Chain A
Amino acid sequence: MRPILAALAALMILGTAAPAMAVGDTVNLIFNALLPGRGQAQRGLYTKAVVLGGVTVAGYVGLYASQINYNRSVEQYDDEKDTWESYRLSLSNGVPVSAFDITTTGTRMQDSWNQADHRYNVRNAFIGVLAVTYTLNLIDLLLSEKQTGELSDPDQEPSMMIGRTRDGFMVYRTIHF
């Protein structure tokens, strides 16, 4: 799981470096794939861009927060486990350990294990959300038509055209009767 996460994060880093790089069509597609919503925004599909971008940001924030929570649970579990193992060592060396301490530590260790297990699943759910978002974004980018400005019906005249003059541009509007 960790290599996948690292790769995902590395792709994010590459994505954030996009403006600094030379951007061709393919490169642009790659960066759009790395930053969900970016490509949709470039095509003017702002609702889709906001949804994809929002879910991605929420996914990363959730992943970050859930990972921190999970780390805390693991630390707590490790502490209780160390205490538990020190009891085992004491008992094997003939050093008395209180039954109350054994019971309390055992309960705490089980609780922190359960908590860590739950937080691990929450963290993985955020990874799943990100994976689905990235997949949907990629599918959307690959299936969407490239906006070239060409008309789908060549016989149809464009309703608006831009022409170049000697010292600027001129906008033409064709009106049919």
Chain B
Amino acid sequence: MKKMTYRIALCATAALVLVLGCSKKHEDFPDPLGVSAPQKVMNLSVTNPQLFDYDLDWDIGDPGTVEYYRVYWSLDGFQFAMGADSVLTTSVSFAAPLPVAAFGVTVVSDEFVEGAMVTAEVP
């Protein structure tokens, strides 16, 4: 019984040594990325001149900080998928294979940070 107790103590101690020996330390907190959230587009409007064809138009406060825009589309109004990347203008025509419920536009800033999406439902 005494030997068993010492064996258990030995195993527990070995486990403790293992845990302590293999431990890493929390260190080197990284520097900030030094970027800021980009602005949002304003006055996003969607028109539907023909079946499955959509015209999108929006405004931007300071175009100087915009690298490009991204356009997203959604069939149900909730799940969005990217429809067009690297859009350089503030209006775009979009031909979808299915009827689209809503569009979304985001700004990718000149620091390559993508901002919050602004959405508009298809009328």
For residue A9, CB closer than 8 A to chain B, the reply is yes
* B residues less than 8 Å from A84 (CB atoms): 30, 33
Binding-face segment, A70-78, A131-139, A146-154: A70-78
Q: B19 touching A91 by the CB < 8 A rule?
A: no
A96 to B85, CA, bound (A): 11
Known: A17-B10, A99-B114. A73 touches B35 (CB 8 A): no
Whether B112 sits at the interface, judged by CB under 8 Å, is: yes
A9 to chain B, nearest CB (A): 4
Bound complex: CA of A94 vs CA of B86, how far in Å? 12
**Which residues of chain B have C-beta atoms less than 8 A from A81's C-beta?**
28, 30
Contacts of B20 in A (CB 8 A): 2, 5-6, 9, 67
B24 touches A71 (CB 8 A): yes
Contact B26 A116 (CB under 8 A): yes
How many residues on chain A are close to B (CB under 8 Å)? 45
Q: Are A102 and B35 in contact (CB under 8 A)?
A: yes
Residues A6 and B17 in contact, CB atoms below 8 Å apart: yes
B120 to chain A, nearest CB (A): 20
Task: Tell me, yes or no, whether B16 is within 8 Å of chain A by CB.
Answer: yes
Q: How far is the CA of A63 from the CA of B20 in the complex (A)?
A: 9
Chain B positions 6-22 with a Cβ under 8 Å from a chain A Cβ: 6, 9-10, 12-17, 19-22
Expressed in whole angstroms, the Cα–Cα distance for A120 and B20 within the complex equals 12
Known: A60-B16, A74-B25, A113-B26. 5 other contacts (CB 8 A): A12-B16, A70-B23, A78-B24, A99-B114, A120-B25
The contact sample of 7 A-B pairs, CB cut-off 8 A, is A2-B21, A6-B17, A71-B23, A91-B111, A96-B108, A98-B113, A102-B33
Give chain B's interface residues, CB within 8 Å of chain A: 2-3, 6, 9-10, 12-17, 19-26, 28-30, 32-33, 35, 37-38, 70, 108, 111-116
